Structure 1
């Protein structure tokens, strides 16, 4: 089985990050920092930080380097405990594993959850984790496309297919 690859057009991505930024701006809760969740959330976080005129921090969760992201998340937890509001940004909330992990680690390290919000470009309504802001929703029960964001489109096709096939439960 080969995955149904959907290459998200740049214009669609740009409209989506503007939608997320507008949602954040329209609410009463205002972040002090935008935090990109690496690797997929870094590019949308940069765009959103510019749109909101806020500084950006990053946490490279996807690298799987032992302790690296966790140490950064502890520092972030200290910021929230000190009263700073943090908007975490990722590209997609698919299974919810990344967001659930980050929330759990932050809670274990003294984070003030009232100072946290999560935003994504694409939000799977079947995800185990909930987000506060999204541009679009998908339903993995019916939507089996593998979303390829503009910054991923430069990868070799074989690499994109390999990544998609690493989580076959999302594609079948």
Structure 2
């Protein structure tokens, strides 16, 4: 296996840039024919944008912590959320990026396995990879990972050390090569 070169760390740390993306994403959701009742932040990266979107849309926010893999903070909550959906609640999941699609695919599969009504479910992200195995309903920026190898560092991640950011980038090398 060949060593992958370090990616370009692309910092989205300017508040104005982040806020513009949130406002655009919220406007796309508001102007669509589908109106959510709840915003659900996907932890860890989707929590901050979800808070902003929930305020922009004046909707209550729930959160799940998929990234921690700690029992009780994601799968069990997703089963409860699936029940809400089956009872008619319209749910908007928000994450920072749809890169490989693994998080969205995992969440969708778990929801469907627990009886979620697909028509009551939407996904929104700030950045979506056109080559992802998962599709999202709303996004602000589209990239093609076949051409764009930047590692996006969101404002809430910019406090991490460069070493931590590079370690996270290299954790899934197929995103970088």
- Taking structure 1 as the reference length, the TM-score comes to 0.97
Could you tell me which residue of structure 1 aligns to residue 127 of structure 2? Answer: 122
Alpha-carbon distance in structure 2 between the residues aligned to 1:25 and 1:170 = 31
Could you tell me which residue of structure 1 aligns to residue 7 of structure 2? Answer: 3
* Cα distance, 1:68 vs structure 2: 3.2
Could you tell me which residue of structure 1 aligns to residue 105 of structure 2? Answer: 100
Structure 2 unaligned blocks of 5 or more: none
Q: 1:79 aligns with which of 81, 84, 90?
A: 84
Q: How does 1:1-172 map to 2 (within 5 A)?
A: 1-8=5-12, 9-172=14-177
* Cα distance, 1:5 vs structure 2: 0.4
Structure 1 residues 101-154: Cα deviation after superposition (integer angstroms, max 9, x where no partner): 100000000111100000000000000000000001000010000000000001
Alpha-carbon distance in structure 2 between the residues aligned to 1:57 and 1:127 = 25
Alpha-carbon distance in structure 1 between the residues aligned to 2:122 and 2:75 = 18
Alpha-carbon distance in structure 1 between the residues aligned to 2:40 and 2:73 = 15
Alpha-carbon distance in structure 2 between the residues aligned to 1:59 and 1:67 = 9
Give the alignment's Cα RMSD to 1 decimal. Answer: 0.9
